[in-house]
Structure 1
Amino acid sequence: MVTAITLGVKISVETTYQEEHSNPASGHFMFAYRITIENLTDYAVQLKRRQWFIFDSNGSQRDVEGEGVVGEQPVIEPGQRHSYVSACNLNTDMGSMSGNYLMHREADNSDFIVDIPKFELIVPYRLN
């Protein structure tokens, strides 16, 4: 698990290789990741947008941007957390992801960026 805190918002990431949804012979490797967003501030925050930077070990990069996460724009109260699971496919058996969330703080009507720490996507046999 990797974790980072930006402006009082803690992001933790866990990854899992999805062997049953992968086809290595055709260069299709599926990974699931669980993100937990914890609000360590004294104010409610809302996740508005996300931006991902996805890297394959062959040097290719994809950028993905959009509203919310898995169709939601959750409001996270002080001391609370929000978790979700999503997935990413790679063309290689190793890669990484990083990114950021655009968050909104209603208390002062401000937006701020929270970093998503870089995390590795590696097929388990590559770790031997």
Structure 2
Amino acid sequence: MANLSSTISIEVDVNYLAHQSIPEKEHFLFAYTITITNNGEVPAKLLTRHWNITNGNGDVSSVSGPGVVGKQPHLSSGEHFTYTSSAVLETAVGSMHGHYSFQTENGNVFDVDIPAFRLASPNALH
């Protein structure tokens, strides 16, 4: 059987929400939109998520739970699911990485890594 984790692709788009951020109070809000695509032949259901969120000071917080945005999408071959969520940092820059856990119809559970992506307000990085 093929490595199931390699059949799921993850795309991330990040936006800094200036109108909801308060830099003078160390409140920086970022929206991230993620598209999860099943490029394999085996249908899979997203069970859980786990995030490690690192701010510009190196402080790490972790978030885990069932599904994403209250859903546990079931993706057949070729299907994708897109959602938007948000993260608040105390610094103008940071990063996120983590993994999703999926389950196939025959009960196999596998993790898909989400590579680190940057959270940065405009002009925070030169």
Same fold flag (TM > 0.5): yes
- Matches of 1:89 and 1:109, distance apart in 2: 35
- Distance of 2:70 and 2:104 partners within structure 1: 20
Q: TM-score scaled by structure 1?
A: 0.93
Give % identity: 39
2:107 maps to which residue? 109
Deviation at 1:109, TM superposition (A): 1.4
Aligned equivalents of 1:58 and 1:65: distance in 2?
A: 22
Which stretches of structure 1, 4 residues or more, deviate above 4 A after TM superposition? none
Query: Take 2:73 and 2:92, find their aligned partners in 1: how far apart are those partners?
Result: 32
Structure 2 gaps of 5+ residues are none
1:91 aligns with 2:94: no
Match of 2:123 in 1: 125
Specify the alignment match of 1:31 in structure 2.
30
Matched residue of 2:124: which SS?
A: helix
- Tell me the number of residue pairs that the alignment of Structure 1 and Structure 2 aligns: 123
Encode CA deviations 1:58-113: one digit per residue, 9 max, x unaligned: 1110000000000000001100100000000000000000000010111x310000
**What do you get for the CA RMSD once the two structures are aligned?**
1.2
Equivalence for 2:60: 61
Q: CA separation in 2, counterparts of 1:61 and 1:88?
A: 13
SS in 2 for 1:25: helix
